[in-house]
Chains A and B, each alone.
Chain A
Amino acid sequence: MRETLQLLIYGVQLGVIYALIALGYTMVYGIINLINFAHGDLVMIGAFVAYFAAELLGANFPLAIFLAMLIPACLSVAIERLAYRPLRDKPRLSALITAIGVSIFLENFPRMLPFIGPNYRPFPMLIPFKNFTLPTGAVLNSIQIVNILVSVALMVALTYIVHRTKVGRAMRAVSFNKDAASLMGINVNRIIAVTFFLGAALAGAGGVLYSMTYPMIDVLMGIWLGTKAFIAAVLGGIGSVPGAMLGGLIMGICEVVATALYSELGYGSGFVILILILLFRPAGLLGKVKIEKV
């Protein structure tokens, strides 16, 4: 029982991070049907922004995570503008291949910069580490608490934006049909940019939270993280915001449990989930098959 709860804490801690990153995949897919392969690398950039903010500016946690959200978000808007928008009306494969190209660029450009380079770096302590023993005997530490609280707060904020604000309504309209949305007076390009901005901000936050938990960062860290978060998005139903959150949580918990059972299983668990979901429920857990009435 004590161990189960302990595993659950680890699983949720990891799961909320996957969920944050998965949201970016699902939102971009929902709005322009693109699997943004460069999304995982924005996680890495978020981690590096926080790293430099802490090391060079002495930034505290709130400032570091704010910058780590803002800079990848702006970068993501620029990527959309320069790399994806010119291909919007071209076959979907063109944009997909471009996304892979952007991803390779984002991984390798920082690698050749003298102040970043290919080596692992220890991620600084952004908050004091402290253990709390729960009445049941399970241990919860300060990083886990911050991880979960910040992730949940960001997901609540995103849900609010998508469902209760004008820009959120516009995002849902554009994701249904761009022509119909533009006939409402919605500037579709602007809404697509907002979507990239929000998704990348969450990825940047995910990068910081992940690096606080596993405090070694390098330029390739986004590949694995991105892949797992992508699986989480597919598991939940790509295009579905609550689906990405649920998928992330399930992925995190499964991975931790699989690792606890047999440590080699951890990495593989995500792919087992992916294969199972594609076989038995290709639309994902919360994904809907679109129905149109005439």
Chain B
Amino acid sequence: MMLDVKDLRVAYGAIEAVKGVSFSVEKGEIVTLVGANGAGKTSILRAISGLVPAKTGEILYKGRNLVGIPPHDIVSAGITHVPEGRLVFPNLTVEDNLLLGSYIREDTAAIAEDMERVFSLFSRLKERRHQEAGTLSGGEQQMLAVGRALMGRGTLMILDEPSMGLAPILVEEVFRTIVEVRKSGMTILLVEQNANMALAIADRGYVLETGRIVLSGKASDLAAMDEVRAAYLGR
């Protein structure tokens, strides 16, 4: 088991955003958490990477409980988080952004190789390697955020709304990229409002509603279920 979340609760003051959620991710899987805005998806991811404290519950990563560990140590443990809104560093060049992705590593030669690998995956980033990231389009920034996450050589990548704010053609490109990344051996936890696309590439899925998991199962089964279709797939 790569990731095993047990009875996780996250609260902001008196407001509980995540109300006892349990789910798991196996090595090599793409698992998706889908649900409407405010369902608690982002809070779950932020708790996994240590950005918000878990009120109760356990987050077991390769058997080790991550609750209470600071975010930078969680990155060192092998979890890379592509945050909502991408958060590329706008005043730094594309190259510097990628180098920050490899911040925890010291193997300079391998870092340079990995950067070339990212550039072969996203040729547009290569053309713009000396450009400030803030001058990239939204789609390119998303590519950069994924590329930057690859630079950490983690084993689990968690993606928060990678399709947010992108034109439909770019959304498809982003999802193709995620599939590519999985082929390279990465395990992926994907949070999406675009449930249609997310369930199409995922192995398994969980449906969240106001801080609780209401449905779970094989992604293809979920996509076929009437209540999921009605609530999230627009028919």
Contacts and interface: CB of A to CB of B under 8 A. Distances in A.
A291 B134 contact: yes
Contacts, number: 77
A184 B91 contact: no
B103 A186 contact: yes
At the interface, is chain B mostly helix, strand, loop or mixed? loop
A235 to B, nearest CB: 21
Contact of B51 (A182, A185, A292): A182
Interface stretch (A131-139, A149-157, A167-175, A276-284): A167-175
B204 to A, nearest CB: 25
A56 interface: no
25 contacts: A166-B99, A166-B103, A169-B96, A169-B103, A170-B103, A172-B96, A173-B92, A176-B90, A176-B91, A177-B87, A177-B89, A179-B83, A180-B89, A181-B100, A182-B71, A183-B71, A183-B81, A185-B76, A185-B152, A187-B72, A188-B72, A291-B134, A293-B137, A293-B141, A294-B165
B40 interface: no
B162 interface: no
Given A291-B134, A293-B141, A173 B51 contact: no
Interface in A236-294: 291-294
B70 interface: yes
A135 B70 CA distance: 62
Interface of A: 166, 169-170, 172-173, 176-177, 179-188, 291-294
B49 interface: yes
A63 B21 CA distance: 60
Contacts of B134: 291, 293
Contacts of A176: 89-92
B57 interface: no
Contact of B100 (A170, A187, A293, A294): A170
A115 B202 CA distance: 72
B72 A182 contact: yes
